[in-house]
Amino acid sequence: MNSCPCGSGDDYTTCCEPVISGKKLAETAEQLMRARYSAHVEVDVDFIYESTHPDCREDYDHKGTKAWAENSQWFGLEILGTTAGGAEDDEGEVEFIARFRDKDGIRSYHECGQFKRIDDKWLFTDGQIVKSQPINVNKIGRNDPCSCGSGKKYKKCCGK
């Protein structure tokens, strides 16, 4: 079995390949997002371009996208959530993290991708980078509830 790069657990030939090759349309925004990630892994930049809404291709850099895909080692896609984007919707959002290694080291790309369906075809329209949240460091007192969620006092749990 050749596991699909998108992380679905399915075989590539039945998961993302039919969408990338045009044999079948993505049924949901998430399915298109998974196929776009797999297309980066497989260096199929034509699919990445074609699955971008025509009104949103102005800044698309075909050569740059191809170089990035070829020169990166892809570690996985994590879908964090979806808003709408189902089989009956015409718009949707998919929040995801793509992990990869490039010349600068191991990196994560965290984005909320926007998708629209036009004539039964899902297309990527825009993406907003999700910035890291500041780390909240609160001092825990010995008699406070433990932050691990055990229900025990900190001193009897993780504070030992």
Task: Give the model confidence (pLDDT) of 78-119 as tens digits.
Answer: 999 999 999 999 999 999 999 999 999 999 999 999 999 999
Chain Cα centroid distance, residue 91: 17
Of 79, 158, 95, 92, which is closest to residue 131 (Cα–Cα)?
95
Cβ–Cβ under 8 Å, residues 122 and 25: yes
3-state secondary structure of 86: coil
Residues 6+ apart with CB under 8 A from 151: 145
Cβ–Cβ under 8 Å, residues 82 and 93: yes
Neighbours of 15 (CB within 10 A): 22
Helix (H) / strand (E) element for 21: namely helix 17-21
Please list the pLDDT of the chain residue by residue as tens digits (160 residues).
689 999 999 999 999 999 999 999 999 999 999 999 999 999 999 999 999 999 999 989 999 999 999 999 999 999 999 999 999 999 999 999 999 999 999 999 999 999 999 999 999 999 999 987 666 566 777 777 766 667 777 778 777 6
Cβ–Cβ under 8 Å, residues 94 and 113: yes
Q: What is the reported pTM?
A: 0.81
Q: Which CATH number fits domain 17-129: 1.10.1660.10, 3.20.20.70, 3.10.450.50, 3.40.50.720?
A: 3.10.450.50
Cβ–Cβ under 8 Å, residues 112 and 128: yes
pLDDT of residue 26: 98
